[in-house]
Amino acid sequence: MLQYISRRLLVAIPMLLGAMSIVFFAMRVLPGDPCVAMMGDQATTGALADCNKNLGLNRPLAVQYVDYLWRSLRLDFGNSFRQGYPVSDYIGRMFPHTFILVMASAVVAALVGIPIGIISALKRRNPLVDYPLRIIALLGLSMPVFWLGILLLIVFSLRLDLFPLIGGGDLDGVLAMISSGEVFSQPRDFLAAVADVLHHLTLPALALGFTLAATVSRLSRSAMLEVISQDYIRTARAKGQRERLVVYKHALRNMMVPLLTIIGIFVAIALTGTVLTETVFTRPGLGKMLVDAIGARDYPLAQGAITVFTMTIIVVNLVVDMLYAVVDPRITYR
Amino acid sequence: MARPIRLCWFLVLVLAALGAVGLVAPPPAEAQKKILNIAAKEPDTLDPHSSTLGQSQAISRFMFRGLTRFAIKDGKVTTAEVEPDLAESWSLSPEGTIWTLKLRKGVQFHKGYGELTAEDVKFSFERQINKAPGTRYGVNLDVIKSIEVVNPHTLQIALKAFDPIFLLRMVGYQNGYIISKKAVEKLGDQFKWNPVGTGPFYFERHSPREKIVLKAFDKFYGGRPQVDEVHWFDVPEDATKLIGLEKGTFDLLYPEAVTADFADQVQKMGAVIDRRGPGGQERFYINMTKPPFDDIRVRKAFMHAIDRKAIKETMYPGGLARVATSCLPDGYFGHIPMEFPPYNPELAKKLLAEAGHPNGFTIKNYFISKSFFYPKVLTLAQEQLRKVGIVVELQVVEHATFHENIRKNLDPFVLYGGTRITDADPWLSLFFDSKEIPDPATGNKGTNFAHYRGIDDLLTTGRVERDVKKRAAIYHEAQKRIQKDLVCLPISDVPGQWARNPKRVSTPFDPEYGEFSLHYSYNYPELLKVLN
């Protein structure tokens, strides 16, 4: 297993390098000068030259590229062109917000999507159950997250006043309490801070989770359909086992492998979904930051964010691959 | 079916429990504070000399002041006159090149950085003139030859030549803000997120992508503001801002764009829109060197084809904007209202036929920004131009790409907006001086998109004229020439607009153009009051 992980991590290096190189050159191929984007109509020729010099953009592209790779190796992504903050600090503050949003929406998507998919597959011959569930899935697929987000905000935040309108809660405080050990000395404060973070997280996670649940339900429906058409299911039923046992003991367990694949795909989809979710709910996070950075041609920030996205997807896929062996004893890694 | 129902109940309970967390009341001290909650976009810096973004300049006004400020006349703030602010008085030498300025005594910088002195003023201007990394407005201070500190409260500024708008350049706006020399020297690059000025509020903290907190400055020379704290939230979406205004989360909104729908919603919830002139102007520049627009008949046909009133009414119905009357906006020194070719598509067709285009022509790959007002205005103009046979094939691109491409002269006519210090000279120089003609061959990225050379002589004369009436006459003549040569068609004068909950926040100035201002809508944020 260790050998397999090492090999996968080694393979990840060129993948990461490839992604970093693509984003480095893609940002520079994109029309639009960072200095013009920053200065707008104040961009006189002299001011532009000064700006390019200050940002190091007057250096040959190859020099910039080598410098970027060398710095990235030391996890130094430079400073944001616009705001001047070190990109690694920025990402360090934003990533936890995006991470918990993805995780929470995964929970929502799994809780909603998987049961819908399974029930829809098992009751596919009962139109009274299957059709409404498929319609729900279709609604989820066609409902943009920003629309659902605004709807949730109007109902639960504006009208019912149950949830905050904006922000991500004091996640920095929670993390600081964990790292300083205050979590044990001041458990009440810690729990209050966690509750505040969850309070801010609920609506965004519901919005993103529900829209993703549609994809999850369709994927789990087809996974379940495939499993229940297998010979061993027919055999189990022929042996006279109760339907519930057939589903729980045989079908669900065998569905785990395709479900894990879904989770791998899900993370990539959810990460892209965070862009709109973070915008509508005005949450801090990597997704919104990345889009703003690309729009502003903030090269270091965009490069840093995409590197982190790529690393996250690589790590999640690695974990998923390893979990295959856990859920399916027939799979071993050498 | 029992299980899904149970699951639903479970979810409802979880939601209710999480919602209940929000019902906990804030601590009493926090509740008694007068907090002004503003929803805007996040500034890119708090160094007032560094940013061109509207939100950065709007928040700067809360923390910084200049030597002069726009005067309050008859209960309104005017951009036509300035009055002393950090400077107490001034005098000009007989030859018109040396200004002696006396500073107000006892003005304190935030966070214990001491009293304002002439050294701070000298430093604030020289860092821009010497183009310290990140500063953007040094070009506006190019007129300065040298700055001499006479004593801690007096300085002399020698100019290269007489500058008729010197006192306007000293206004607390962009290059005019005075910062603490000690703070910049101590904090270095960190100054941009640890600003130190003399304004009514001081910087407390910044949570990136969330909010900036400012606090009332007890030692503000104009007296402590009534507002205890300003919470400046990063809210990019206008829809979210509106929900927040209705809910009471926000008291003031700085919207991306004020549309009719936005204004309706603001009105329905009982809030008001504070309109501040002169705001920005949206206008077309026609590149007079690019065929077929090198023929004045085609330029005239273009102008007859554009229904300016219809565009303005579609974009900004009623009082949301005014049809512009000159390419030098109303509110700028030297402005006079002008007539432009009226909407007349038949005449436009006739002129095109006379110019050898009886069937019109097609403009391929016309680049337009996907941001702000650009795509909407251009789509309306596209439809109007199509009716006379001018087909414009649009390519909607990122804002940065748009800026890049118009400086490569890829668009034969350019839609543009902007705000500048409110005098004819900087405005006309930027958009009509031949030195500003963009040229990819030389790398000139100027903004004279019309490639106009017709008023260079007037601009030169205007810069040395000391008689106010004669100066005004020079710029009147400049506008007449621009009008005659048909190189610029102004569409709408759009005021700066913020939405305000009047039950929560009051301002002494009338919502309808009670202030004239620049990028910020509130010249005097210390006069804002939080009500119960």
Report how far residue B451's alpha carbon sits from residue B447's, in angstroms, rounded to the nearest whole number: 9
pLDDT(A142) > 80:
no
What was the pLDDT predicted at A31?
75
- A195 and B21 within 8 Å at the Cβ level: the answer is yes
* pTM (two decimals): 0.79
Residues A92-106 have a mean pLDDT of 90
Per-residue pLDDT at B1: 42
Residue B292, preceding bond cis, omega within 30 degrees?
Answer: yes
Number of Cβ pairs closer than 8 Å across A and B?
Answer: 163
- Spatial CA neighbour of B179 closest among B125, B135, B138, B220: B125
B17: left (phi over 0), alpha (psi -120 to 50) or beta: alpha
- CA-based diameter of chain A, in Å? 85
Least confident of A177-181, B8-12, B300-304, B307-311: B8-12
Quick check: B418 pLDDT over 80? no
Under an 8 A CB cutoff, do B404 and A167 touch?
no
SS3 at position B440: coil
3-state secondary structure of A86: strand
Instruction: Say yes or no to pLDDT of B109 above 60.
Output: yes
Contact A16, A310 (CB under 8 A): yes
C-alpha closest to that of A224 among A111, A117, A109: A117
3-state secondary structure of B444: strand
> How big is the CA angle at B89 (ends B85 and B94), to the nearest 5 degrees?
135
Task: Measure in Å the smallest separation between the Cα of A2 and chain B Cα atoms.
Answer: 39
- With the CA atoms of B479, B161, B83 and B224 taken in that order, what torsion angle do they form, in degrees rounded to the nearest 10? 120
Collapsing DSSP to helix, strand or coil, B149 comes out as strand
In this complex, the residue of A34, A158, A285 whose CB is nearest that of residue B243 is A158
Rounded Cα–Cα distance for residues B108 and B217 (Å): 10
Alpha-carbon gap, residue B163 to B181, rounded angstroms: 26
**Residues near B15 by beta carbon (within 8 Å), at least 6 away in sequence:** A156, A162, A202
Closest by alpha carbon to B351, among B309, B296, B306, B308?
B296
Q: C-alpha A178: how far from its chain's center?
A: 23
Lowest mean pLDDT among A5-9, A168-172, A307-311, B142-146: A5-9
Q: Residue B376: which of B293, B228, B259, B459 has the closest Cα? A: B259
Q: Mean pLDDT over residues B303-330, rounded? A: 94
- Report the SS3 class of residue B88: strand
Residues of B in contact with A43 (CB under 8 A): 403, 407, 445
How confident is the prediction for chain B on average, in pLDDT? 91
User: Could you tell me if B233 lies within 8 Å of chain A, comparing CB atoms?
Assistant: yes
A64-72: long-range contacts at Cβ-Cβ below 8 A with a sequence spacing of 24 or more? Answer: A65/A21, A65/A24, A65/A25, A68/A20, A68/A24, A68/A303, A69/A17, A69/A20, A72/A20, A72/A303, A72/A307
| B236 in contact with chain A, both atoms CB, cutoff 8 A | yes
List B residues 27-46 in contact with A (Cβ-Cβ < 8 A).
Answer: 44-45
Residue B382 has pLDDT above 90, yes or no: yes
Distance from CA of B371 to the nearest CA of A (A): 10
Q: Two tokens at B168?
A: 């306007």
pLDDT per residue as tens digits for the range B147-199: 999 999 999 999 999 999 999 999 999 899 999 999 999 999 899 999 999 99
pLDDT digits (tens, 9 = 90+) for A208-228: 998 888 888 888 888 888 888
B399 touches chain A (CB under 8 A): yes
Secondary structure tally for chain A: helices H, strands E: 15, 0
Range of lowest pLDDT (A141-145, A151-155, A185-189, B207-211):
A141-145
Q: Please give the helix or strand (H or E) that residue A280 lies within, else none.
A: helix A253-280
**Span A270-292, mean pLDDT?**
86
Query: To which residue do tokens 């704290």 refer?
Result: B229
Residue B505 has pLDDT above 60, yes or no: yes
Phi, psi for residue B277 in degrees, rounded to 5: -85, 170
B451 is written with which tokens? 């490639």
In angstroms, the Cα distances linking B508 to B77, B79, B218, B221, B267 are: 10, 17, 21, 19, 20
Burial readout B338-347 (b: 16 or more C-beta within 10 A, e: otherwise): bebbebbbeb
User: What digits encode the pLDDT tens for the residues A171-192?
Assistant: 888 888 888 888 888 888 889 8
**Proportion of chain A above pLDDT 70, given as a percent:** 97
Q: If pLDDT is split at 50, 70 and 90, which confidence band does B4 have?
A: very low
Least confident of B30-34, B280-284, B477-481: B30-34
Q: What are phi and psi of B274, to 5 degrees?
A: -85, 115
Q: Could you give phi then psi for residue A313, rounded to 5 degrees?
A: -65, -40
- Decide if A85 and B193 are in contact by the 8 Å CB cutoff: yes
* Best to test chain B binding among A116, A160, A166, A174 (most B CBs inside 10 Å): A166
User: CB A32 to CB B403 under 8 A?
Assistant: yes
Reduce the DSSP state of residue B474 to 3 states and report it: helix
**CB A260 within 8 Å of CB A323:** yes
| Tens digit of each residue's pLDDT (9 = 90 or more) over A287-302 | 888 888 888 888 999 9
Q: Which amino acid is at B485?
A: D
Please answer yes or no on whether A202 and B247 come within 8 Å at the CB atom. no
Question: Which is higher by pLDDT, B467 or A253?
Answer: B467
> Under DSSP, is residue B530 helix (H, G, I), strand (E, B) or coil?
strand
Q: Within an 8 Å CB–CB cutoff, is residue B246 touching chain A?
A: yes
At residue B14, the pLDDT reads 53
Q: A96 by DSSP, 3-state: which?
A: helix
**Across chain A, what does the average pLDDT equal?**
84
Residues B208-232, mean pLDDT to the nearest whole number: 95
| Residue of B28, B27, B496, B518 whose CA lies nearest to B252 | B496
Whether B19 and A167 lie within 8 Å, measured CB to CB: no
Cβ–Cβ below 8 Å for A196 and B403: no
**Average confidence (pLDDT) over B492-511:** 94
CA distance B155 to B88: 12
Chosen for mutation from A35, A41, A58, A79 (greatest number of chain B CBs closer than 10 Å) is A41
Taking each continuous run of H as one helix and of E as one strand, the counts in chain B are: 16, 20
Mean pLDDT of B204-233: 94
Smallest CA–CA distance, residue B419 to chain A, in Å, is: 9
Q: Tell me, yes or no, if B240 comes closer than 8 A to chain A by beta carbon.
A: yes
